[in-house]
Amino acid sequence: IWDDILEYVRDKIPEVEFRTWFKQVRPLGIENGVFMIGVPHSFARDWLKNHYSPVLEHALKDLGAASPRVGFQVVSFPTTEQPDIFQPQTTGDDSSQVKRPRLNPKYVFSNFVVGPNNNLASAAALAVAEAPGRAYNPLFIYGDAGLGKTHLMHAVGHAVAERLPQLYIEYVTTEAFTNDLINAIREDRMTAFRDRYRSVDVLLVDDVQFIAGKERTQEEFFHTFNALYESGKQIILSSDRPPKDIPTLENRLRSRFEWGLITDIQAPELETRIAILKMNAEYRGVKIPPDVIDYIARQVTSNIRELEGALVRVILYASMNQVELNRQTVAAALSDVYAPSELNLSMEEILRATAFHFEADAEDLRSKGRRHELVVPRQVAMYLMRELTSHSYPEIGQFFSGRDHSTVVYAVQKVGEQLAKDRELEMRIQAIKSDLL
């Protein structure tokens, strides 16, 4: 949570201020609904309180706290400095030219959940990390925003830096590359610019779709690319689309982007989303009940950044309001961001729609009756209630004439499995949903 707050704040205030004031503060926990922050001395306390309370409270609010309040307290810190994750790591003093790239410490392979949506991309990234310049060159990873492209690139950077520390790894966004170039031109430093980029061993260029329409950048990047490629240096590119769909990309660049391996990342399926949430909760040192994880994973489907955002929101909501995490509180925590509570579907409505589509009688479905032809529609109704409402298993069981919650658990699981292989069932469920939504 604290890292998320810092990231938010860092985005909102000048970097220098951030470095000055936020390097030395630590989260202390929540006391009576106030988020307490430890500061090294009373001057810092007063300064932070006067200048940064609003932005900190905004951060908390953004992360899901209902009535965000922050407080400051002077505490004495152990003398060991925390590693500064915001600084590009330099080896030796600043005068030395050998720089470690600015990589997010969280974006390593061990924190990357591999699923069917990304297994080719992650295998390719691993191969490249094993043998930079020799496996796939360039490696081109594309996919929608928030699906892990930057994470994978950084992971390669970390892995190479660890195994081959003598290599010079450079990570740039296409924007940064463009700005660098513009500055170099303006300040008449083109030689230095070229030297810098052409001495790289592993070049990671993020969001290369932004090169569209920038002729001078394309020109310069073309030469950088050639110089690196010819000397067997590794290039990894990411983009939100494949090279052929980047508009106004010069043909010679496009074809170079296609020389190596092009691989994509898709939106993660439910199991992968669950695994990512579990890993994230663990990473943050928080215990989250499985049904809460499940709920979040079902709400946020197409963007991993948002998935993590939802998790943070839920954690913060629970601790700020001092409530236990369960299906009700998670629904409340996410209610203003995600749709289902807006739908406000009742179990009654779902039952009726399901009965209609299976040409069954709603009351029969609800009853204790065990007739064979009622089984599937009943299970489907349970499944949909679970998916489209925030009712718990026991509540759904109760609704079906007081059935045990394990019956509902079984039904949901059964339908979920069946869905994957039964095209007809899938279409039926789609049809019911489109009636309801």
Task: State which of residues 132, 148, 260, 377 lies at the interface with ligand ADP (CB under 6 A).
Answer: 148
Q: Which of positions 311-330 make contact with Mg ion (CB under 5 A)?
A: none
Q: Which residues are annotated as a binding site for ATP?
A: 146, 148-150
Cα–Cα distance, 75 to 24 (Å, whole number)? 11
Return the residue nearest ligand ADP (CB atom): 148
Instruction: Give 228-261 as a DSSP string.
Output: HHHTT-EEEEEESS-GGGSTT--HHHHHHHTTSE
Alpha helix positions (H), 261-367: 270-283, 290-299, 304-320, 327-334, 340-343, 347-357, 362-366
Q: Which does 113 bind (CB under 5 to 8 A by kind): ligand ADP, Mg ion, none?
A: ligand ADP
Residue 168 and residue 200 in contact, taking contact as beta carbons nearer than 8 Å: yes
Q: Which residues are annotated as a binding site?
A: 146, 148-150
Dihedrals phi, psi of 237, to nearest 5 degrees: -125, 145
In the shown chain, the binding pattern of residues 75 to 114 toward ligand ADP, with x for contact by CB under 6 A and - for none, equals --------------------------------x---xxx-
Cβ of residue 69: shortest distance to ligand ADP, in angstroms?
27
For the sheet containing 202-206, what is the strand order? Answer: 169-173, 202-206, 234-239, 139-142, 261-264
Q: Which of positions 117-156 make contact with Mg ion (CB under 5 A)?
A: 149-150
Does 149 contact ligand ADP by CB under 6 A? yes
Does 304 contact ligand ADP by CB under 6 A? yes
Q: Which does 304 bind (CB under 5 to 8 A by kind): Mg ion, ligand ADP, none?
A: ligand ADP
Q: Which does 305 bind (CB under 5 to 8 A by kind): Mg ion, ligand ADP, none?
A: ligand ADP
Number of residues that bind ligand ADP (CB under 6 A): 17
> Which residue number, 268 or 397, has a Cβ lying nearer to ligand ADP?
268
Name residue 422's amino acid.
D
Cα–Cα distance, 147 to 302 (Å, whole number)? 8
Task: State which of residues 9, 203, 276, 325 lies at the interface with ligand ADP (CB under 6 A).
Answer: 276
Instruction: Give 178-215 as a DSSP string.
Output: HHHHHHHHHTT-HHHHHHHHHT-SEEEEE-GGGGTT-H
Handedness of CA 415, 420, 423, 429 (dihedral sign): positive
Alpha helix positions (H), 63-148: 119-130
In the shown chain, the binding pattern of residues 107 to 126 toward ligand ADP, with x for contact by CB under 6 A and - for none, equals x---xxx----x--------
> Which residue number, 299 or 389, has a Cβ lying nearer to ligand ADP?
299
Task: State which of residues 63, 147, 345, 381 lies at the interface with ligand ADP (CB under 6 A).
Answer: 147
Q: Which does 397 bind (CB under 5 to 8 A by kind): ligand ADP, Mg ion, none?
A: none
What size, in residues, is the chain?
A: 437
Cα–Cα distance, 327 to 404 (Å, whole number)? 18
Residue 148 and residue 108 in contact, taking contact as beta carbons nearer than 8 Å: no
> Which residue number, 227 or 267, has a Cβ lying nearer to ligand ADP?
267
Cβ of residue 258: shortest distance to Mg ion, in angstroms?
21
Q: Which residues contact ligand ADP by CB under 6 A?
A: 107, 111-113, 118, 143, 145-151, 276, 304-305, 308
Q: Which residues contact Mg ion by CB under 5 A?
A: 149-150
